[in-house]
Amino acid sequence: GHLKASSPDYEVQQKHHNDALKPLQNNSDDNGAPGLSSRRPVLHEGLAQKLSAGKNEQGRHKGVVNEQKKAALLKLRKELPIWNHERLIRQSLSGNKDIMLMVGETGSGKSTQVPQFLMTEPWCKRCIAITQPRRVAAISLARRVADEMGMTLGAPACQVGYSVRFDTSIGPNTRIKFLTEGMLLQEMLRDPTLPQYSAVIVDEVHERSVNVDLILGFLRNLVSSKRAAMKVVVMSATADVEGLTKFFQDGLREKTISNGTDRKATKVHSQGTSSSSTGSAKAHHTKDYTVDAFSDRISTCLIKGRQFDVKTTYVHEPTQDFVEEALKTIFRIHCKEPLPGDILVFLTGQETVESLQRLVNEYAGGLDEKTPKILTLPLFAALPQIAQQRVFDKAPHFTRKVILATNIAETSITVPGIRYVIDCGKVKMKHFRNNLGLESLLVKPISMSSAIQRQGRAGREAPGQCFRLYTERSFQELQKVTTPEILRCDLSQALLTIMARGVPVQDIITFPFLDRPSDESLKQALTQLLQLGALNESAHFSHTGKQLARLPLSPTLGRVILEAAKPERDCLSEIIDIIACLSVENIFLNIHTEEKKEAAEEARRSLFRREGDHLTLLATIRAYSEEQSDRRAWSDRHFVSHRAMQNVIDIRKQLRAQCVQMKLLDRNATEGSRMDEDTKAAMLQCLLRGFATNTARLMPDGSYKTMVGNQVVAIHPTSVLFGRKVEAIVFSEFVFTNRSYARGVSAVQLSWVGDVLAGAT
Ligand code: CDP
C-alpha cells in the first residue's frame, strides 16, 4: 500500500514557477507519449495549511502512521545490499571528489538509498536531482522514498518530489527530486549550469537513451570546467565502468590542459614535453598524470546484488507466434505452481500487451473454482499513471498477478512478488535507416544482457523460473549488449537539444558523446534541421529552432504545430487534435477475426475520411468528444480504444496549454472542429511542412516511391488509403517489416510536395 494516494489535505502541489511545467523532448517510445497525468487538485499553500490546521487530529494521526511506516521500512532498507557500502559512498564524494560511478544490480537499492545517503552530507546544501528514463519510475520512486522518510508526497513539508512532463510535485522543502531525463534537459534550457542542485544522479545509464547520453555530455563539461559546484553520480545496472571512467577522465584532462588551471596537471604535462619531444612519450605522460591528478576526483563503487537462483528453460523449436506461446506458458505455470508467485511477461509493445491481456482474461474465465484466480495487469509507458501504479498493489486473496509488460519492467521498475518471468526475446526499438532518411520502430531480438536482466527479475525475493520463448541457440546468438539509441536514431532532436542549450552548430563536432554517431547521420540531422527551419541560411540556430526545442514533440511534429499557428494556415486547434492522436500508439483496436473485421469496418465507416488517416483521426477525436452520454460504449461500438482516447484527450489538453504558453494559441480558442475544404487543405499542408521528407508519389506501375531517396514504399494495410491510388502521399510513420510501409498516410497534391521540398513555404 505504499503507493496509495494519501489524504487530499496533504496533497499540495506546488509549482516552482510556470517553467516547472515545461514539457519534455518527446523522443523515445517509452518516454514519448505523455501518459495521463493523474494530477491532484492544486491547492494554494495558504489554503492547504488552513485546511490541514482544521484537521489537526487527522494530521497527527497521519504523522503517527508515517512514523510507523518509516520504522518498518527502515528494517527492509537496511537489508538492501547497498547498505554495506553506505560509508564508502559518502566518503567517495567528500572533499574535492566529485564524480562517482556506481554499478549495482537492479533492486540493490541504488535509486532509493543513494540520494538519502547523500542529502545529509555537509556539501549537500541544495537539491539532489536524480534522473530516470521513464515517468512511471520517477513517480513511484518519489513515493517510495517519501514513505521511507516518513513523509507524505505532495505535502508542503515533504523533502522528496518529482517532476515529469506535465506533472510536478515539488514543494518549498524538496531536497530530493526524481525527474525524467527530458525534464532535466528542459531545466538546462533555463540555466545550463543547473545552480539549483548540489548533486545530479544519473540513474539507469545502461539503458543508454539519447537523453542520458546528452546529459552525460553536458555534465562532463560542467564538472570538468568547474563551472558548477556540483557532484555527479552515474548509476547503472550493467554499465561498462571502464568506458565511463575514461569518458570522465578525458573530460577532466581536456579542460585541464586547455585552461592550465590545475597546477599538478600542468606540471606533469610540461614534464611530458621536456622529457621527450616525441608525440608518443607526451601521450604516455599525459596518461600518467591522469591517474595522479584525477584519481582523487573520480571514484567507482561496485555493489553486488542479492540474487536467488533462476531456473531457465527454452523452447525446443522457434515459435511463430510468441503471444500464443506466452498464453500457453502462463496457464502451464498457473495450473502447476502454487501461490504465492506472480508472473511477469515481457512483450514488445502496447499492441501485444493488450491482445495477450484479452486472451488471458478470456481463458481465465473458464478456470474452475479450485484454481486460483488470475489478475492481468498491463504495464507500458503510455498507460495512464493510475493504471501503471496498480502493478505494485498486492494481489487479492487466492489470486495470481500476471503482469504484461514492455521492456519498461526490465530494469526501470522493480515489481515485488515476481517468481516467474516469461521472455518473448524481442523488443521494439527505434531504428534509423540512413539511406532512406527515415526512422521507424522495429521489433528486434533483445541483447544478451537484456535477456539476463529479464531473467533476473524472477529471482529478486526467492528462487524463481524464467521461460524463454526462444531456443537456447538463439540465445547464444544474441548480440552481447544493446546498441546505444544514439547510434540508431534520427539525431535531429538530439542536435536541437544540444544547440538550444547554447552549443553553436560548429561546436557540435566537439560535443562529448559517449559514443560518437557517424558523420553521415550528424550531417543528415543537420540537413533535416535546416529543412525544418531550425537553422537559418547562415546555419545559425533560429527562433524557430528555439520554439521547436520548447515543444514536447519531435522536431517534425513541432514544425507541423508552428506551421499551423501561422495566420495564413489558421488550423492549430485541429492540428493539435491530430498530433494528440499520433502521440498514442493506436486508437483503433486491432481486430483478429475475419467477421469482426467486417463489423469494425462498417462501424468505423462514418469516421473514415477520403483524404486519409490524419483527417480520419481528427474525425474520430471529434466524434468521441461530442459523445456526451457514454464514451466507453461509443468506443466499443466503433472498435476504438477507450483507454487510448482518454490519453489523447489528456495530451490534447497539455499541448493546448503549452501552445497558449508559447503564445501560439489563443487562450480562448475553440477546440478543433472545422472540416471545410480550406481548413482541410491547410492541415495537409502543415503536415507536409513537417514531414516533407516523408512523402512519396505514385508511379505509372501503381507503386509509390519516396520523393527523397526514390525508394519503394507501400501504404500500410491499416491505412484508410490502403489500395487507393492518389498522386502523392505524406506519411507520419514509417514501418519496416518484410517491406517498407507508410503508416498514417494522407493524400496530397504533388505540386504541394514539390513546393515544400523546394523550400517554398
Ligand atoms: O535502483 P535499484 O534498482 O538498485 O534499487 P531501488 O530502486 O532503490 O529498489 C530497492 C528496493 O526498494 C526494491 O527491491 C524494492 O523492494 C523497493 N522499492 C519499492 O518497493 N517500490 C519502489 N517504487 C521502488 C523500490
pLDDT tens sequence across 173-214: 999 999 999 999 989 888 889 999 999 999 999 989 999 999
Residue with more model confidence, 512 or 598: 512
Q: Do the beta carbons of residue 8 and residue 62 sit within 8 Å? A: no
**Closest residue CA from atom 21 of ligand 1:** 144
Give the full edge-to-edge strand order of the sheet including 99-104.
167-169, 160-164, 176-180, 127-132, 197-202, 231-236, 99-104, 298-303
pLDDT reported for residue 267: 34
Number of the ligand 1 atom closest to the C-alpha atom of 392:
21
134 Cα: distance to centroid of ligand 1 (angstroms): 15
Highest-confidence segment of 112-116, 133-137, 265-269:
112-116
Q: Residue whose CA is closest, atom 14 of ligand 1?
A: 107
Asked if 405 and 379 touch (Cβ cutoff 8 Å), the reply is: yes
Closest CA to 178 of 156, 158, 192: 158
CA of 633 to the centre of ligand 1 (A): 39
Cis geometry, peptide bond prior to residue 122 (ω within 30 degrees of 0): no
Question: How far is the C-alpha of 388 from the C-alpha of 164, rounded, in Å?
Answer: 15
Quote the CA–CA distance of 444 and 482 in Å, as a whole number.
Answer: 11
> Cβ distance 146 to 160 under 8 Å?
yes
Residue with cell 519534455: 24
CA of 149 from ligand 1 middle (Å) equals 14
Q: Report d(CA 115, CA 203) in Å as an integer.
A: 11
Which among 230, 164, 248 has a CA at the least distance from the CA of 193?
230
CA torsion angle 199 203 205 206 (round to 10) = 150
Q: Could you tell me which residue, 6 or 742, shows the higher pLDDT?
A: 742
Flag whether pLDDT at 28 surpasses 50: no
> Which of 132, 303, 414 has most ligand 1 atoms within 8 Å of CB, for mutation?
414
Most confident listed range (349-363, 385-399, 589-603): 349-363
Which residue has better confidence, 138 or 671? Answer: 138
Q: Specify the DSSP class assigned to residue 390.
A: G
User: Between 255 and 735, where is the model more confident?
Assistant: 735
In 605-749, alpha helices (H): 613-626, 631-637, 642-661, 677-690
The ligand 1 site (C-beta within 6 Å) comprises 80, 104, 106-113, 140-141, 144, 414, 416
Burial of residue 566, with CB atoms counted within 10 A of its CB: 0-12 exposed, 13-18 middle, 19 or more buried: middle
Look at 692 and 594; give whichever has higher pLDDT: 692
Q: Residue 9 above 70 pLDDT?
A: no
Whole-structure pTM value? 0.78
The distance in angstroms from the start CA to the end CA of the chain is 55
**Ligand 1 centroid to residue 393 C-alpha, Å:** 14
Separation of CA 360 and ligand 1 centre (Å): 28
In the predicted structure, residue 728 carries a pLDDT above the cut 60: yes
Q: How far is the CA of 418 from the centre of ligand 1 (A)?
A: 13
* Cell (9 digits) for 9: 489535505
Extract the C-alpha cell encoding 444.
528486434
Query: For the complex shown, is ipTM > 0.95?
Result: yes
